[in-house]
Structure 1
């Protein structure tokens, strides 16, 4: 299990501080050249090879555990610093910002900068993350102090308004449940009845969508049964009492979690296998396909919403035959699902397809 060492708290004296770039720092970010070849010896490299060989072009997954600490390079492949954390919205699973620690050679002070995750994830490699299209003014406007004071960091609205403006990003819709990934990983999870059900072992990030696809819960059923790993959507969890709480809570019951199937023992090596990802979506996210893990009120979405959104690759709000055929075991039921023969499946039609799947199992 990967554990993160907690830094000693430092007072948040100011949200943004002035940074002076060292000579030539901005030139590296402005230059454009090909990135170096990635090593294929690491587990992350093998995951990317699996994704490429299987033809999966839209879905690219990495564990946040592996990404944190990865080098960050400019477009000319020169090292800039490291990825120190991810800013995750626990209410939606969105990964909004990556926090980068720049090397002292770039700034006169050891700086941490918030960069849009989408900008960084688009050019990820097995051995490094590539920062594209960033200029000095953006980096200076997006600088934040290092702190363990999460309430002070994310409660500072003027800071994040400035960061959003620096990158031309709209403010998040609805309540923004910002947490750092390092404060989610290894955190204990309790049910509403105070049952300790284990801890979060990992966050699996869908790089293409800049979103947490699922959290890996190391479920502890009790003294007489061995622990097992279960995939759970991040939206099933809530922050514990207070922003600085060392626990997460969930409305799932211990009995409900105990009924969920365990992850494949080799889940880490199969992160990007299309068949494995599709099976995981069916089992853990598609009500009517497998366990029907949680009620819509618990998960924050209706039946099959996660799977529907994944199949709707062009984001037009409906699924055509080509998109459904990405999952052959569902594609074969196209005729039954497309009852009005209009060549498309709405979320409601797709939900009924799930109900038929559940009926066949009973």
Structure 2
């Protein structure tokens, strides 16, 4: 059963991404880093970059909870969460549970997103895992998640899968966050008033990046209750992980005519929609106004 991230009763598909603070808060998205090569532990599991479901845009909420299979088609485990680097917008890791099938009990393991491929005949996510390697891989108890900024666990993961995992973020600041904790994050305007919340995040696993977030605006911003795609650069992260996001775009710059109803999501991979949303996102600078003013 997939996790339900909603705290208030609303009939929606599972949801996902981000967090904020004040105008001086660090920016959420810097220039997108180059992609590094996977470490030796996952090299054999890496498939061609553009393959099947991985090459298509997808809602992060529909990736969390998805089954993962081994190359023979047998169920291996499932994705419990995604880890995003807020400094670069890069999808850093997928956190997996193996359900005890490999003798690892209730431990969770972080694998680079580029370690996954899809099966030849369908869109199943496939991961090649060697039992001996898994026994040596850094894992953690599912009831005791490691800290995401300073915990030594993530340094162990980097060493195990290859130093390129963090180096791939380039010069951008590294701030890891669980995708499930970003879903439903409140978003405030620059004056601290409510603007809405993050409904979901659209990601591309082949490109290992967040494409855009979908913001569900409050009634005062969108009387018709529309949701709108925005780039990460339109938001600033909070000083503390439990803080709210800050929207760094004036209301008059938001074209609500481009919005859509929560129960009528567009086909994310329709060529016409991709061109339309791509053109809309291009209207935003790669850095937010708060970034331009300095941290």
TM over 0.5: yes
Write the deviation string for residues 260-313 of structure 1: whole angstroms up to 9, x where unpaired. 443355873511112211121012x22xxxxx2x344308999xxxxxxxxxxx
Q: Which residue of 2 aligns with 1:64?
A: 60
8 Å Cα contact 2:61-2:200 kept in structure 1: yes
8 Å Cα contact 2:102-2:131 kept in structure 1: no
Greater alpha carbon shift after TM alignment, 247-256 vs 75-84: 247-256
> What does 1:71-220 correspond to in 2, within 5 Å?
71-120=67-116, 122-123=117-118, 128-132=124-128, 136-138=132-134, 140-146=136-142, 153-170=147-164, 171-172=166-167, 173=170, 174-220=172-218
Q: Say if 1:156 and 1:203 are closer, same or farther in 2 by CA, change over 3 A.
A: same
Write the deviation string for residues 209-235 of structure 1: whole angstroms up to 9, x where unpaired. 011111111112418812111001123
Q: Kindly tell me the number of residue pairs found equivalent between the two proteins.
A: 244
1:136 CA drift (Å): 3.2
Q: Say if 1:80 and 1:5 are closer, same or farther in 2 by CA, change over 3 A.
A: farther
TM-score by length of 1: 0.59
Q: Secondary structure at the match of 1:163?
A: helix
Matched, 1:276 2:273: yes
CA distance in 1, matches of 2:179, 2:163: 21
CA distance in 2, matches of 1:140, 1:221: 51
1:202 CA drift (Å): 0.9
Higher relative contact order (CA 8 A, sep 6+): 2
Give the alignment partner of residue 298 of structure 1, picking from 270, 273, 288.
Answer: 288
Write the deviation string for residues 21-67 of structure 1: whole angstroms up to 9, x where unpaired. xxxxxxxx9x99xxxxxxxxxxxxxxxxxx98xxxx99411111111
Q: Secondary structure at the match of 1:165?
A: helix
- When you count helix as a share of all residues, which structure comes out higher? 1
1:93 CA drift (Å): 1.5
Q: Which residue of 2 aligns with 1:317?
A: none
Q: Which residue of 2 aligns with 1:358?
A: none
Q: Say if 1:163 and 1:224 are closer, same or farther in 2 by CA, change over 3 A.
A: closer
CA distance in 2, matches of 1:203, 1:75: 28
CA distance in 2, matches of 1:219, 1:139: 46
Question: Which structure is larger by alpha-carbon Rg, 1 or 2?
Answer: 1
CA distance in 1, matches of 2:269, 2:153: 36
8 Å Cα contact 2:115-2:127 kept in structure 1: yes
| Structure 1 residue ranges without an equivalent (≥5) | 7-28, 33-50, 287-291, 303-362
Once superposed, what is the RMSD of the aligned Cα atoms? 3.4
Greater alpha carbon shift after TM alignment, 218-227 vs 89-98: 218-227
8 Å Cα contact 2:98-2:104 kept in structure 1: no
Q: Secondary structure at the match of 2:278?
A: helix
1:181 CA drift (Å): 0.8
Q: Say if 1:196 and 1:185 are closer, same or farther in 2 by CA, change over 3 A.
A: same
TM-score by length of 2: 0.71
Write the deviation string for residues 101-138 of structure 1: whole angstroms up to 9, x where unpaired. 11023234211100001112x32786632113655325
1:139 CA drift (Å): 6.0
CA distance in 2, matches of 1:276, 1:223: 23
8 Å Cα contact 2:109-2:138 kept in structure 1: yes
1:169 CA drift (Å): 3.6
Greater alpha carbon shift after TM alignment, 220-229 vs 78-87: 220-229
CA distance in 1, matches of 2:220, 2:290: 28
